[in-house]
């Protein structure tokens, strides 16, 4: 059975998700082991922390997943910040995630890449086996189909482009503005793409790895600077966009205070890192406006309103693909059940045939064959008869009806 654990921007809120990510990060560094499951894939992005497992013992796996978040994930006002999905619901959720239907920014493109990276990492580390391999390869295929057959991601709003949009809503036109981007990874690159054509006067890019800063600055026709130069470039900037993968504060209050010394104009700081990379006390510095991931909600809601039809089209594909996947899985389970049943019957046949052959050697072949036929029927049906009697005693009418259908007894 597929079982999955979820802590998302919808269940926990961005604040709750950030706190959870801080605590769960150490667990993953130590290595993840899920009792009752021999396969797992971990998906960790700025919108979610999810673990998908192929469980051999469902109850043990469920208990192990819950213990992973117990004491690490806060309880939200509206219910549990972490939740468990099983079977069909778990598969459907993954399909929607890959398509961008469950993202903060509906239709985002980067989630497909993030799911693929999580899956490939699990393959390399030995976490993903045949069951999760089939699930994730199908999910990625569904994501590609949605993007090719619908307009869900046309002009898709990413978190990076939403940050730039928020800057425009706060300050107006960005033409002639001075912008600093802190970070040079995936999210910072999305921000950079969204800045193109906005006409900023100057763009500074800073990152702990200077070569990466130079590469991104080149794309923006900007200037790469070291982290030690941040107070100087922030002092010249109208907007600072922070997007790094660091698990700690990158921009502290002292740095911002130094940048604001003697400055008359206001500074807009937008931090889309997860966890936040800006010291929250920065908002207390005079002249500084700080916006975190939670501040992108209004833009996200507007994005949903614009994509109502595309969302419905994508949902229809997800439902169709879910039915196909479930049908294939059910057929595989039936094939496996038949294989195991055939093996059991063959074992009984071989054992009884061997016994009959030894008796036939002493004469009385006709009697031996008759006894063999009775023994075969008796041994093969022993377990089904026993379980049917138990089902009848317990009032399990469903199993009795299933047996009636399986053996073609409805008309007898």
What's the CA gap between 368 and 378, in Å, rounded? 15
What's the CA gap between 178 and 184, in Å, rounded? 18
Which of the residues 46, 291, 319, 357 is marked catalytic? 46
Give the DSSP letter of residue 41. E
Annotated active-site residue 46? The verdict is: yes
Distance (Å) of CA 186 to CA 4, 23, 161, 272 = 26, 23, 12, 12
Burial track 135-149 (b if 16+ CB lie within 10 A, e otherwise): bbebbbebbebbbee
User: Could you give the angle at the alpha carbon of 152 between the alpha carbons of 147 and 158, nearest 5°?
Assistant: 95
What's the CA gap between 301 and 319, in Å, rounded? 24
Give the DSSP letter of residue 283. G
**For the chain, how big is the Rg over CA atoms in Å?**
30
Burial track 308-324 (b if 16+ CB lie within 10 A, e otherwise): eebbebbbebbeebbee
Grouping H, G, I as helix, E, B as strand and the rest as coil, residue 224 is strand
Q: In whole angstroms, what separates CA 129 from the centre of its chain?
A: 17
The residues annotated with a catalytic role in the active site are 46
């Amino acid at each position: 059975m597929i079982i999955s654990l979820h802590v998302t921007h919808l269940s926990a809120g961005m604040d709750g998700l950030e706190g959870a990510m801080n605590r769960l990060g150490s667990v993953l560094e130590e290595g993840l082991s899920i009792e009752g499951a021999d396969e797992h894939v971990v998906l960790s992005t700025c919108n979610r922390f999810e673990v998908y497992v192929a469980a051999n013992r469902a109850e043990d796996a469920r208990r192990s997943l819950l213990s992973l978040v117990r004491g690490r994930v806060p309880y939200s006002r509206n219910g549990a910040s972490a939740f468990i999905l099983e079977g069909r619901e778990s598969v459907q959720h993954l399909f929607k995630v890959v398509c961008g239907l469950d993202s903060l920014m509906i239709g985002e493109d980067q989630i497909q890449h993030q799911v693929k990276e999580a899956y490939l990492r699990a393959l390399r580390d030995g976490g993903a086996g045949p069951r999760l391999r089939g699930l994730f390869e199908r999910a990625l295929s569904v994501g590609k189909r949605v993007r090719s057959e619908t307009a869900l991601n046309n002009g898709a709003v990413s978190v990076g482009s939403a940050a730039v949009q928020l800057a425009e809503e706060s300050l107006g036109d960005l033409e002639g503005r001075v912008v600093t981007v802190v970070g040079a990874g995936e999210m910072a690159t999305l921000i950079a793409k969204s800045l193109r054509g906005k006409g900023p006067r100057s763009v500074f890019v800073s990152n702990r790895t200077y070569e990466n800063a130079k590469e991104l600055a080149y794309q923006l026709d900007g200037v790469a600077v070291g982290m030690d130069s941040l107070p100087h470039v922030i002092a010249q900037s109208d907007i600072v966009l922070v997007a790094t993968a660091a698990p700690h504060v990158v921009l502290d209050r002292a740095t911002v205070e130094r940048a604001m010394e003697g400055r008359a104009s206001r500074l807009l700081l937008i931090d889309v890192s997860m966890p936040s990379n800006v010291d929250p006390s920065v908002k207390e510095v005079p002249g500084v406006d700080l916006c975190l991931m939670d501040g992108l909600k209004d833009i996200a809601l507007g994005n949903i309103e614009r994509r109502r039809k595309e969302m419905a089209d994508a949902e229809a594909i997800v439902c169709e693909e879910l039915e196909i996947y479930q049908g294939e899985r059910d057929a595989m389970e039936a094939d496996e059940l038949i294989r195991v049943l055939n093996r059991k019957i063959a074992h009984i046949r071989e054992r009884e045939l061997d016994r009959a052959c030894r008796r036939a050697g002493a004469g009385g072949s006709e009697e031996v064959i008759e006894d063999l036929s009775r023994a075969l029927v008796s041994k093969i049906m022993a377990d089904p008869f026993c379980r049917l009697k138990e089902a009848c005693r317990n009032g399990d009418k469903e199993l009795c009806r299933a047996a009636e259908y399986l053996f073609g007894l409805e008309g007898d």
